[in-house]
Structure 1
């Protein structure tokens, strides 16, 4: 584990634990778990005098150049003053390949290969903050090795609808899990002298009409659901940059929204970094300058026609914009560049890219992300000593997802597919019978084009090719076991369009049912970033696995789970509904809107809606099985009553009652049944991933600040913790509560 701040001695660990206030990061010591806090490094003010001197020497044209794109992913240098370009790269799946300076065409380099990391959904499914930090440090090393100042990542918008085109990229539907995974990722990246660009700020939860839709959210829901991870990115991780979103919020575009950028981000939270626009998301020079946007990036017009280019220069010369206002933004950019050592390169990190160490990092994340949904007949893990042949069926067995769709792909030298993973891991004595099963086909007249935003997204042809179906059925009949690799891909789940339904594309449901008819020993593996309608398949199949767009080593990690080399420990970071009408944004008919979308479900997003409304999901938030079993017992709190500033210590025993070593995610939920205001039936407020050997019992402590019980009071405009009784629940999913107790808040 490459954790720079790790403490190896018992004394140091004890001192570290004593200093912790609010965290779920764990270090295992003997039989106890302890809390460790990830804290980022603030923007440096040590160079302010030098920055003032530089700005005083800059012409207006030079200042403008620092504030807008002069190529697709860089601002303009001021060479005479030693100010370089501010360079950027897309990064949710790894550092994007180099593209041309003035177009989206690939630059054609032969040295810009990078590691393809698991998508955000896969990382969130690990429920492991150490792996979030590992991901950050690893991709940060790759970004600095490519001389990038800013990595356009992480994308941490809340998953409001299962149909979202970027669900695969975003982390979760839950604000607490979101912030706890975001902070260590950000810290890890920025320790490598690379700034993250946290996106997309904020209330950016759909691709449909994203360029102009006006999002209406009540203040309490905004604060409790959509902003916590962004706030933690500022206050805990000290993120160096944010990305302004495309859409409007309460009537104002977010790149010129004074309430969001100036009032909340800077004044309330104390953000000292820079705000970069999403590409072509700026609409007004004066409003953006005055309301907090620092750097304009985008396409498709010539760089001198950007709002912060010729237009800015003209408005300053005419007196419409004060040059002193421009200076504020220039100083912010330079302060970040000095913090990153990109101006004064002394001691800047060097990094590395496309290395075996980084492929191993990607493997570790992928291996803990795989979710076992069902194992009714204990077909898993596969018993290779009694199997002579396996049918591997499905286009997804061979599909590569590093590149694809509209958005940030990765040019990588290694992407192990599921079929290749099985070939790598299975004994040579076992015969693999591969059949493609279905074709990935789209309707030519409806497939989403780059940049088009359509509700239906890529329209698929859902009929099966008879010859391919026959081949698949034959392979299944003639094999001891069949494994179907189904689901989606990054052409179907993509930025710039939302899906039209939860239906599986390409006729896969029919294929799966027909294979199950001829071989009941069939394992169905879904590779996707977002929920699909798999209720009927779930009823018919005894063995289900959910995997993700899982990086360079995804196929090897998945094979290791199937074969039992790795005990699955992934948990769903979102709720899988039985039907789309059960999800809150759809139950309230408030997606996707047209000119305006109102989030009428309020605070009841994701599992909060399902649990409060008593709607049965297909698979609940936080769900995931193991090849072993766990038992929770002896749930206690260190006191029965607490003051509102206290730390609540929740402890319990976790026993591995099975025959296999494994990892369990203990999830702590809070219920306030006596509240004077509407609250969700329960809310996640703590979690820990714990490794427990077969037969072993571990004593676990989760530290919960009483302030986490607060709700946002819209009248007083502040967070309030109500006095009264609260239920403390512990379990392995939102519907898998194993024990509960009560506490009182004074």
Structure 2
């Protein structure tokens, strides 16, 4: 059997590893190597004496200047002491363009073009921690080339609702998959001498009323669902900074929440870095500072001197309500970060970085090419066979739409974004005629107004009326072509920060376009480009071929075209559950979302597939779902022992056979279930390991997944400890949460 596999497991996450036995031609990865690569050292204490000396020479005004914004994306440095400003940049999709120091207006520079990387949905759909490491390293190099000390990324709050405005960037609905991707990302980013700012801490799962909503949930839900990826980013990846979220949690704003910022973040997890407020997320001086916020940014005040951590803080110290020792504590944390990224101290050895390089565009391509999800291919229209193909209709605004910019929030200024139509024109034989029609307009109404607690499109409301002339053009193009490829979905003006969607309906009247094109040409391939679930019921029922892609970066069009043409065999898997209807999703089934002044997470630990699988609710497409141009069989699933102690690691192996004629990658997913009852409510199954295996046509690979017994623990609220119950556990191995192909049972002593 071959050893050319990608192996990512629970043990890999705890050690920050996957199973890397040898590199293959497509640079796939494995075990001991990754454990060493992703073992973060964290912030050094070697400069503490130097930091104490520096702080002793600072005036109170200089200290306070370091604790609040002094421009849109910096604090204030102290030049005579060699303390530089801390330079920050947004970066979920790539390093944001430079803006003016004192306003949000673009600076108009010509040297701030950057690579546009796939959004979080695309990265997570790869189910590949090596792609996350590639992402972190690549964007870290770009951050350094732009002189940044902190990249305000990654964002990885749990996808709690399908209509969440930031679903497109918030990775997944599963805490294990989130931490499996975040740790290699953060480690690889910080190896480039730039700090990750992990966000948004915490329970920041909706845009509706995000600045005021008070999130309420039980402690077990917090610990098992909403904190694991943050904890791993701190304790394993040693993230240097954390962004405090907008919302409240149990009554206190998260930037003045001592339980979250002090008790959990610092006392339990040992965090040594700095807490940066989200822009305008600070609401007090003394309370926010003493709770643990170190740097206040973006507060909506007339001048930077009016920030809560500016003149009001100076006045508080002079009045004796805040001690200078408290100020010193926060200044020292910031200096520690500056030494960690070599902005102070060993500055000569600091990484220089590079930006908008061919190598970085290749990184973006590699991520995108592993993210595309094949949802349906019942008539084998894909991959497209160009032999004998004379014409192809390319229809839909998303065939030509770029996604680097748009919506509310950070985009990327890039010179290079290949659209699907660009790519198909370059890759199809010259003998194939391309008949293009836009099909629909992406137009919006004026913003909706709503009362407190309503889900409102605060930014853009789509116009859903189709233009008869555009439909006629699309139908004509489809009729005269051998095959039609329809590019529909959404864009970043519709899926956006600061706005949750009202429902799952396709915007811009696209369902009517899909119906018309399918009627005109039975050989229609429907390609969705979007970041969040939509109502695909009618499309799934009436179309044989459906592909899902994402806001997939500078090379997104090339990656998508290569999948359609068969150069790349799709291996993406859905990172969230696509429901039949919105009311099936847990936050909506429990009538929790969007709440009002308070939002109670009534579904508890049953988020995403946990709810669907435990409540026996059938999804349209399950978590972890994705097809291939080949087929796979699983056999001989077994564990290395029958019984384990709590400190042991369980090794599960399974043979994966490629039964088709095309080489392909399969994601082997391991879900754990407690058999025979439990002291606490448990989900039907929980993801505890996965492996992405490259299997040649006709070959069989032996795949290994390691699960530390401690990964099977639940959080015991009474003892405030993680507890592993003794008894029998069943490991379910499959290609999605619903497609289980083998089981292994083990006993825990």
- TM-score w.r.t. the length of structure 2 is 0.96
Match of 2:255 in 1: 255
Specify whether residues 456 and 377 from structure 1 end up closer, same or farther in structure 2 by C-alpha distance, changes over 3 A only.
Answer: farther
Match of 2:530 in 1: 528
In structure 2, how many angstroms separate the alpha carbons of the residues matched to 1:496 and 1:125? 24
Alpha-carbon contact 1:453-1:496 (below 8 Å) kept? no
1:382 aligns with 2:384: yes
The C-alpha deviation readout for 1:264-319, integer Å capped at 9, x for no partner, is: 00000111111000001000100011111100001432100001100110000110
Match of 1:3 in 2: none
In structure 2, how many angstroms separate the alpha carbons of the residues matched to 1:696 and 1:719? 41
Selected match of 1:708 from 696, 711, 724 = 711
Match of 1:237 in 2: 237
Quote how far apart the aligned CAs of 1:165 are: 0.3
The C-alpha deviation readout for 1:527-580, integer Å capped at 9, x for no partner, is: 000000011111101000000000000000000000000000000000000100
1:688 aligns with 2:681: no
Match of 1:202 in 2: 202
1:25 aligns with 2:27: no
SS in 1 for 2:715: strand
Quote how far apart the aligned CAs of 1:386 are: 2.1
SS in 2 for 1:432: strand
Alpha-carbon contact 2:279-2:299 (below 8 Å) kept? yes
Match of 2:745 in 1: 742
Quote how far apart the aligned CAs of 1:27 are: 1.1
The C-alpha deviation readout for 1:655-709, integer Å capped at 9, x for no partner, is: 1111000101010000013212100000000001111111111111111000000
Selected match of 1:462 from 450, 461, 464 = 464
Specify whether residues 163 and 565 from structure 1 end up closer, same or farther in structure 2 by C-alpha distance, changes over 3 A only.
Answer: same
Alignment of 1:437-456 (within 5 A): 437-446=439-448, 454=456
Alpha-carbon contact 1:34-1:701 (below 8 Å) kept? no
Alpha-carbon contact 1:447-1:457 (below 8 Å) kept? no
1:697 aligns with 2:700: yes
Match of 1:478 in 2: 480
Specify whether residues 39 and 423 from structure 1 end up closer, same or farther in structure 2 by C-alpha distance, changes over 3 A only.
Answer: same
Q: What is the Cα-based RMSD across aligned positions, in Å? A: 1.8
Specify whether residues 638 and 30 from structure 1 end up closer, same or farther in structure 2 by C-alpha distance, changes over 3 A only.
Answer: farther
Specify whether residues 83 and 21 from structure 1 end up closer, same or farther in structure 2 by C-alpha distance, changes over 3 A only.
Answer: closer
SS in 1 for 2:481: coil
Alignment of 1:160-199 (within 5 A): 160-199=160-199
Alpha-carbon contact 1:118-1:549 (below 8 Å) kept? yes
SS in 1 for 2:263: helix
Quote how far apart the aligned CAs of 1:458 are: 2.1
1:336 aligns with 2:329: no
Report how many residues are paired. 730
SS in 2 for 1:520: coil
Quote how far apart the aligned CAs of 1:33 are: 5.9
1:321 aligns with 2:322: yes
The C-alpha deviation readout for 1:467-491, integer Å capped at 9, x for no partner, is: 1000000000000000010000000
Alpha-carbon contact 1:454-1:496 (below 8 Å) kept? no
SS in 1 for 2:687: strand
Specify whether residues 568 and 679 from structure 1 end up closer, same or farther in structure 2 by C-alpha distance, changes over 3 A only.
Answer: same
Quote how far apart the aligned CAs of 1:212 are: 0.7
In structure 1, how many angstroms separate the alpha carbons of the residues matched to 2:455 and 2:608? 24
Quote how far apart the aligned CAs of 1:41 are: 2.4
The C-alpha deviation readout for 1:109-143, integer Å capped at 9, x for no partner, is: 00000000000010000000001000000000000
Selected match of 1:665 from 664, 667, 672 = 667
In structure 2, how many angstroms separate the alpha carbons of the residues matched to 1:81 and 1:454? 49
SS in 2 for 1:183: helix
Match of 2:158 in 1: 158
SS in 2 for 1:545: strand
SS in 1 for 2:370: helix
Quote how far apart the aligned CAs of 1:26 are: 2.5
Alpha-carbon contact 2:15-2:39 (below 8 Å) kept? no
In structure 2, how many angstroms separate the alpha carbons of the residues matched to 1:22 and 1:635? 24
Match of 2:651 in 1: 649
Selected match of 2:354 from 325, 345, 352 = 352
Q: What residue ranges of structure 1 are gaps of 5+ in the alignment?
A: 1-9
In structure 1, how many angstroms separate the alpha carbons of the residues matched to 2:217 and 2:348? 46
Match of 1:51 in 2: 51
Deviates more, 1:390-399 or 1:20-29: 20-29
1:137 aligns with 2:137: yes
In structure 2, how many angstroms separate the alpha carbons of the residues matched to 1:445 and 1:728? 49
In structure 2, how many angstroms separate the alpha carbons of the residues matched to 1:23 and 1:191? 14
Match of 1:364 in 2: 366
Quote how far apart the aligned CAs of 1:24 are: 5.5
SS in 2 for 1:384: coil
Selected match of 1:617 from 616, 619, 624 = 619
Quote how far apart the aligned CAs of 1:421 are: 1.1
Q: What residue ranges of structure 2 are gaps of 5+ in the alignment?
A: none
The C-alpha deviation readout for 1:576-598, integer Å capped at 9, x for no partner, is: 00100000000000000010000
In structure 1, how many angstroms separate the alpha carbons of the residues matched to 2:616 and 2:595? 26
- TM-score w.r.t. the length of structure 1 is 0.96
Match of 1:6 in 2: none
SS in 1 for 2:557: helix
Selected match of 2:679 from 665, 676, 686 = 676
Specify whether residues 447 and 413 from structure 1 end up closer, same or farther in structure 2 by C-alpha distance, changes over 3 A only.
Answer: farther
Match of 1:635 in 2: 637
Match of 1:725 in 2: 728
Alpha-carbon contact 2:11-2:708 (below 8 Å) kept? no
In structure 1, how many angstroms separate the alpha carbons of the residues matched to 2:82 and 2:581? 58
